[in-house]
A and B are shown apart, each in its own frame.
Chain A
Amino acid sequence: MEAADLFQKYPHNPLVWDEMHAADSVRPQYQKVFDFLLDIPADELNKKEELAKRLFMSQGITFTVYSSGEGIEKIFPFDIIPRIITATEWQLIERGITQRLRALNLFLKDVYHQQFILKDGIVPVELVYSCPHFLREMQGVNVPYDIYVHIAGIDLIRDSDGTFYVLEDNLRTPSGVSYMIENREITKRIFPDLIPQNKVLPVTHYPNILYKNLVSFSPRQVAAPNVVLLTPGIYNSAYFEHTTLARLMGIELVEGRDLVVENHSVYMKTTSGLQQVDVIYRRVDDDFLDPLVFNPDSTLGVSGLLSAYRKGNVAIVNAIGNGVADDKAIYVYVPEMIRYYLNEEPILKNVPTLHLSKPDDQKHVLANINKMVIKKTNGSGGYGMLMGHVASDKEIEDYKKEILKDPRQFIAQPVISLSSAPCYINGKMQPRRIDLRPFALCGPSGIEIVPGGLTRVALREGSLVVNSSQGGGSKDTWVLA
């Protein structure tokens, strides 16, 4: 097969921003990779794809799907062609996310203390109090350095003119960062020359920054605070990520059953007795953290954890109760928060969003449902969404009933067309829709974002849903110097 065939018939859709192709040329940031791909025989590329798969499998970068009592190892699909971001684009992203996070942290502090923003009528009170993730248990609790969102994975998408939009703020336990790190490790193996040639900025220091921050949150002033990562256990689909992060930071990976609270302090059960825990980087949802306060059936958490937290004897990362800030109905007000708290104009735009509890919005959405994407305010993972432009009449009717039952639970957005990037699929380059999740770390010395992130790909042709649970994959994400 001729190499040039790779890009033959690469379709150009004027309504979609393609990361590699402008109307009739290749964007400069992709030129080197493009030239390289033109020179490479197709079977060479197939070999690289095979190598990538083998590496993921043998290193156990997999998640386990349990069916009929037996675990089957699956790889999170990986496309070998990197997604490239220019230095200028990155600067904007970095500034925009930093600004947004500053405001969101202030919002969380405010909403769990004096509630100025509610009293001033910027964010409607009823919206906050009707949010299931607004936890009254957090009222008046002080957290170290007033930081609530220590780790954020804010999802960005690009409209047809290339403008970046914030699609959602993930402020609870965002996942995927291990894939940012491992995808890069794989790329180093399959395209060893391209990374230095293109001056791609490294991402490997992410765990170091995170560890430095975690240590600084320790309530006890001791030489070596005891930092642990709390995982729901090996059956969790993100378990690989938990072990990777624990290993790279050299901290203990614990499960709820390894911890015990005594006299409002948290201890772990070790072979030489109980040992006090200072900082918990938890990957367990709020609801399961403490059966005495939240879901009483949870076995993933630790009884009494919240009391230890409220006493300030242990730091929990991310803070409890952050869900009120990444609720999709609250999301609408983030630009207002930025103006209110920081007196700045938002750098990154929100996707225009209608909230179905507002009568006018509801009327408009129900009338134009074919042009809308409707989501649950507390949903994630791409579950419970309605894509109006492709849904059947029956699906729409059923969904409408759901909405009318509890309109607070739903928001609607116009169908945004997400940018596309070339992917190597079935021996050809084909455009697929992508998003971007950079990972921002918030510590006492400020907000740091490693240059990169997780680019998720909707691998099905024409699909706009990038979630891994819905057939999405990922790419290595390059930020150029």
Chain B
Amino acid sequence: MLSRVADSLYWMSRYMERTDGILRMLKVNHHSSQDDPIGFTWQPVLKIFSNLDDEQIAGMEMNGRKVLQYMVVDRDNPNSVLNMVTKSRENARAVQDNITKELWQSLNEFYHVVRHERLEHSLKSDDPLTVLDSLVRQCMFYYGVTDNTMFRGEGLSFMNLGKYLERAIQSADILDVRFSDLSYDLEKSTDTTYWKYLLLSVSGYALYLKRYRSGFEARNVIDQVLFNVDFPRSVLYSLNQLHRHFGRLKDEQNMEGFAKVDFIIGKIRSKIQYSDVHSVNLTGLHNYLKELTTDFNEIGNALNQSYFANS
């Protein structure tokens, strides 16, 4: 497979994963804004997903409609859903001959949906949840089409690398921003709805109730989002998937590149696998998450060098 094609597939997939992540965050935060109108602010969302400065954030954080507008359809926000989908589609367009027609059409249609003025209008006046749900469905459609039509091969492997790397980054980011509210103090008691929304935003609420029963505790939330191997959005799950899909790229032609990237992924995966909430607490949650981010970037760089012919 052409290095450029692998690169585009990887980014197409990363941008879609990020789109999905942003939409979930928006959905849950919107819920939150309805339940807790006094304590709620959009500040954490804007902090993770925008480049706005504090002053701009302050001007927007209490206005849900404005935030949705900015996060979904704003053309000047590089992380808006519109720009994510556009980038994903642009990447898909450059590799149309390497994906199925159905996959291309699902992205192309998504693109036309997010660019249609109807969307901007409904974000202003309709029920935001209905609008966000319709966009999440486009993402689900993309995942379904990918899963059911994409041929099993190198291309799909690169798509999965992008997907799981991005997912690991997203989950770590969400923890980081949410816990910054609590000054990273795991013992600090807080309102249980706080944890409920964090878990909902990563689709982890139902699993949490079943697994941890004991009510909401910070250490359990961290355990689930970082280490729970049955939770498809946990960092460890994402790393396991990343490792599995990367293993399929083993190829005698590029043993050197493979060994190099495999080593890095394996090292980072083990590091997470052999940590627990206790050891995280010793390092400090913020420091631990910061290290993870650096590690994930290292994986991205290694792929760039050994597979995408970018140095």
Contact = CB atoms under 8 A, between A and B. Distances in A.
Secondary structure of the B contact surface, majority rule? helix
Contacts of A255: 4
Contacts of A246: 96-97
A247 B5 CA distance: 14
Secondary structure call for the A interface: mixed
Interface in B1-50: 1-6
A70 interface: yes
B120 interface: no
B154 A271 contact: yes
Interface string A419-450: 00000000000000000000000000000000
Contact of A58 (B108, B158, B251): B108
B116 to A, nearest CB: 11
A59 interface: yes
A71 B83 CA distance: 12
Interface size grouping (class) on chain A: 20 to 34
B41 to A, nearest CB: 32
By size class, the interface of chain B is: 20 to 34
Interface string B241-282: 000000001010110000000000000000000000000000
Nearest to A257: B4
A61 B95 CA distance: 15
Interface string A270-287: 111100000000000000
A269 interface: yes
A243 B4 contact: no
Contacts, number: 69
Nearest to A73: B112
A255 B2 CA distance: 10
A252 interface: yes
A432 to B, nearest CB: 29
B200 to A, nearest CB: 33
B109 to A, nearest CB: 6
Given A57-B112, A269-B309, A271-B154, A234 B2 contact: no
By Cβ-Cβ distance, the 4 closest A-B pairs, closest first, are A272-B253, A243-B96, A247-B97, A246-B97
26 contacts: A58-B108, A58-B109, A59-B101, A60-B104, A70-B75, A234-B90, A243-B93, A243-B96, A243-B97, A247-B96, A247-B97, A250-B97, A252-B5, A253-B96, A257-B4, A269-B2, A269-B309, A270-B1, A270-B3, A271-B6, A271-B249, A271-B254, A271-B308, A272-B1, A272-B254, A273-B253
Given A258-B2, A271-B307, 11 more contacts: A59-B105, A70-B75, A73-B112, A233-B94, A234-B93, A243-B96, A243-B97, A252-B2, A257-B4, A268-B2, A271-B308
